[in-house]
Amino acid sequence: MSQRTMFRARWMRGVLAALIVVMVLPSAEVVAEADRFPCATDEQRTRDQQQPAQEDLGTEIGQVAPDFRLPDMDGNEVSLTGVRGCVAIIEFWASWCPPCWQSAVHLGELSQRYEDRGLVVLGVSLDQSRDAIENFLKATGEPDITVLWGSFGAAREVAQKYGVQGIPQALVVDRDGVIRYMGHPALIDADTLAPLW
């Protein structure tokens, strides 16, 4: 076999392997989110792959929250559309923010209390290092929230997309992805969530 033929064969195997990865990864990601967030239904995810009209997207109450994607602390990608079908609280926080410590505990308690109704709490950390987040989680007893952070830059980009000016700040997003609350996480309570079940 000539070197040219061997090169072509290796190149074709490489292209084939890349195609398989490209085709398999998105479905594996959906399965991972489906396992992690069982309230997110396949019907919701399929419907959400068709983007809402541009005028429906926004960061105001009554608008469809724009999608974002960040890894959790285990490196699993989590997207907002991946939890559609769940009621989601998105909190922007950082370990150096004393009020964030209290809100993390509060949101963790809400998550435990309403998990069976389909509540998911996503905490977007605006910390500059992974170590700071891990120390925070140890100090607070690892509240029952899904902490998202890929890098400071990636988290800051999501915060800017949502117009976050100060922390802690939270949004409550209904099962259809519509923003129903924006404000301080300590003000989220049973009355805030009741209309969303």
- pLDDT-derived band at 83 (thresholds 50, 70, 90) equals very high
* Distance (Å) of CA 196 to CA 24, 59, 84, 106, 131: 34, 18, 13, 19, 35
Report the helix count and the strand count for the chain, using DSSP H and E: 6, 7
- pLDDT-derived band at 3 (thresholds 50, 70, 90) equals low
Phi-psi region of 173 (alpha: psi -120 to 50; beta: other; left: phi over 0): beta
Q: Helix 130-139 vs helix 98-114: angle between axes, to the nearest 10 degrees?
A: 70
Grouping H, G, I as helix, E, B as strand and the rest as coil, residue 15 is helix
Residue whose pair of structure tokens reads 């952070």 in the numeric block: 149
Q: Which domains does the chain have, with CATH numbers?
A: 42-196 (3.40.30.10)
Lowest-confidence pick of 47-56, 57-66, 154-163: 47-56
Lowest-confidence pick of 23-37, 47-61, 86-100, 105-119: 23-37
| Section 95-124 average pLDDT | 91
- pLDDT-derived band at 144 (thresholds 50, 70, 90) equals confident
